[in-house]
Amino acid sequence: MVAAGAALLKELVGMGQGHLVDGWQPGEDEEDKRRLFAQLHALDASITGGLVGYVRRAATLLKESQEGKNPLEGFAPAVPSGHELQLGGPDFLECEATGAAARCGFVVVAGGLGERLGYSGIKLELPPETLTGKPYLQLYAEHVLALQRQQRRTDPNSPLLPLIIMTSEDTDLPTRALIDHLDGMGLDPAQLHVLRQQKVPCLVDSTARLATLPSDRYTLLTKPHGHGDVHALLHSSGLAARLYGEGFTHLAFLQDTNALVFSGLVAAIGLSVRHGLALNTLSVPRRAGDAAGALMQLTGGDGRSILCNVEYNQLSAMLVAAGDSRGDTNDTSGYSPYPGNTNQLVVALELYVASLEASGGVMVEFVNPKYTDATRTAFKSPTRLECMMQDLPWLLPPGAPVSFTVLGAADAYAPVKNALADAAKKAAAGQSPGAASSAEFLVYALNAKLLRLAGAEVEQGSPCSLAGVPCSLGPQVVLTPAFRPTIGAALSRLQGTLRVSARSSLLLDGEIHISHLELDGALKVRAAPGARVTIRRMHLTNKGYVLRELSAAELTDPATSELCRMRGFTYEEAEVREMIFDEPGEHVVDEE
Ligand code: UTP
């Protein structure tokens, strides 16, 4: 290992990396030198194409960046055509039923640092809503288990649905600790897979000189390579091919923080099946200026046409170059004409596995240095090559059936990306805030919408601003995956009257059917697996939970819990009725 690392260093020095050994004296710091050799060897093994290949690619990309070359130069953009589904509509429900029966594995990419959010832990441990306080990871696992239970009702031999988590060096240990803390989230260990992505070396300047730590010249500085690594890992681990061999037909890729994803994903899987799509991106209307990519149909000079994501930092320049001087702007609908990429993808395993075999899963890489001046030579801080999972269309063979499925803006996408103060600034600029608070209210709003679609009268809340982030206050409604394995199942749970006032909190967890419920306060109903609860008649009024905005002092006080500080509000419990049915069998609630 050490000898191989030393040989590698020699090769790198021959390629212009002489600064790495500047001032080295024989017999000095030998232990430290061996450390560097070992690191070089490990990086060489983990990087597709090895370290030398990486440095060569970096040199080319940095030169192109210095020359201001746009990798998408020569491609003409057009608004792509795809599919649209109305949440809960007949077509949606049909697709969803197909998707719910599909043999699909779920992949969560969770290697990101979450620097914009600034949370001290991993994002997967955050609760998307505070009524249950359950972490994202638990929510995703419950959705997978709920789908699996539904499949096993019709086919007891149907396989365990895999949940695959991609971690990184930054998130791996805490993610494993979270899985242990949650007792494996109820998953069979055979269906849970953790793949760890490795970091890649950073580069100091446009000549692609490798960076070392400021405090330690014998350690290369490394940073994450981006979520695009997920494809190479699914290939190198053999997992994608194995699942395909076991009869799985699709993989669905999720982000670490999107509590609404399963509202649209299952229907998108069904739509993929229906149209034989190799790749289907879950899309929502995009506001101009949002830090989210746009889906575009690009046609190159050679006539090749590809439906792919264009990142937000390239979008305006591309549109202007194509003759649209307005750049990234909204049309009369209030949204950009280019559908937004939520980075939730459904891929068909057959073509995916074949493409991974052909390419090794190596994604298109890019570099995004922040230059110190117009000479575009020196960087403000070392940069690295990155890759994105949504660049998959470039890996698929030309002509592969690639499309997207658009749902309503607030029906399938509520990511948590930004710290509260930044979210407030974004909102003021007309962009999506992507804060923990706005995302939490989107969860309640979506669940309230589902109840309305099922015929319930759920009072609308009033719009307000919490710590500068616009939020639409309404009832806190949480319908857990066990209540709503699919949207179709959720809609069938209400057979009579349900009235919920705007100040109410309602948690429905498990197989619960409602014939008559009037709620003005807080109610939590939990039915364990195997228990079937019918609320025949119930009229509940209590003091409930009361939302309180944090004061400016509380927002900066370390004594305030981090989860509250990142939201800017807290719900205080005044009075809650909790009903737990943990015995299997029929239960009826009749309180008139
Ligand atoms: P984001 O764009 O939200 O980036 O990642 P991030 O790194 O998490 O957050 P910032 O930019 O530092 O604020 C989108 C998804 O891709 C995953 C994230 O965990 C998230 O689910 N990701 C990102 C990876 O898995 N690996 C990476 O190297 C980067």
Cβ-based neighbours of 188, under 8 Å, separated by 6 or more? 160
Non-local CB neighbours of 202 within 8 Å, separated by 6+ positions: 210, 211, 220, 221, 222, 223, 382, 383, 384
- Residue identifier of the C-alpha nearest atom 23 of ligand 1: 112
SS3 (DSSP) at 302: coil
**How far, in Å, CA of 121 to CA of 426, rounded?**
23
How does pLDDT run across 500-548, given as a tens digit for each residue? 999 999 999 999 999 999 999 999 999 999 999 999 999 999 999 999 9
Find the 551 Cα to ligand 1 centroid distance in Å: 31
Q: How far is Cα of residue 526 from the mean position of the Cα atoms in its chain? A: 28
CA 112 to centroid of ligand 1, rounded, Å? 3
Is residue 310 very low, low, confident or very high in pLDDT (cuts 50, 70, 90)? very high
**What residue type is 415 in one-letter code?**
P
Is the entire prediction scored with pTM above 0.85? yes
State the chain's mean pLDDT as an integer.
Answer: 95
Residues 6+ apart with CB under 8 A from 516: 496, 497, 498, 535, 536, 537, 538
Mutate to test the pocket of ligand 1, among 109, 195, 197 (most ligand atoms within 8 A of CB): 109
**Separation CA 339–CA 105 (nearest Å):** 25
Q: Quick one: angle between helices 229-236 and 349-359, nearest 10?
A: 90
Other Cβ atoms less than 10 A from the Cβ of 63: the count is 13
pLDDT of residue 569: 96
How far, in Å, CA of 35 to CA of 203, rounded?
Answer: 19
Burial class (CB in 10 A: 0-12, 13-18, 19+), 534: middle
| Mean per-residue pLDDT, 327-335 | 92
pLDDT by residue (tens digit) across 58-93?
Answer: 999 999 999 888 888 889 999 999 999 999 999 999
pLDDT digits (tens, 9 = 90+) for 440-474: 999 999 999 999 999 999 999 888 899 999 988 89
Kindly give the distance from the C-alpha atom of residue 178 to the centroid of ligand 1, in angstroms, as a whole number: 18
Mutate to test the pocket of ligand 1, among 47, 106, 113, 123 (most ligand atoms within 8 A of CB): 113
Q: How does DSSP classify residue 337?
A: S
Relative to the CA of 226, which ligand 1 atom is closest? Answer: 28
Average pLDDT over residues 489-494: 94
